[in-house]
A = this chain, B = another copy of it.
Amino acid sequence: MCESNAYLKDGENEVMLMESVDSIEPCGNGLKLMDIFGKQMFIKAKIKNMTLLNHRIILEEIGTS
C-alpha cells in the first residue's frame, strides 16, 4: 500500500496528524486530507514537503511561519 502519513510541523517537531493518507487537495484556504478508510480532515495548512518513498508528507500551518 502506498499511502503516506501526514505530519504537522510544530517548530522543530513533527506531530503525526493523520495516518494512511490517500488523497490531498487544496480546499479553500487549507487542505483536505482523506485517509484510505475515507475519513476526511480539513486543516489550514500547506504542504511543506513530501517524500513518497518514505511515506512522509510534512504540512505547515498557515500563518505560523
This protein's copies in its complex = 2
Report how far A49 CA is from B26 CA in the complex, Å.
Answer: 7
A25 interface residue (CB < 8 Å to B) = yes
A41 interface hit (Cβ, 8 Å): no
Q: How many residues from A make CB contacts under 8 Å with B? A: 20
**Looking at A1, A22, A50, which has the most chain B CB atoms within 10 Å of its CB?**
A50
Chain B contacts for A23, CB-based, 8 A: 49-52
Specify which chain B residues have a CB less than 8 angstroms from the CB of A25 in the assembled complex.
47-50
Chain B residues near A46: list those with CB within 8 A. 26
Report A's interface with B, CB cutoff 8 A. 1-4, 21-26, 36, 46-53, 55
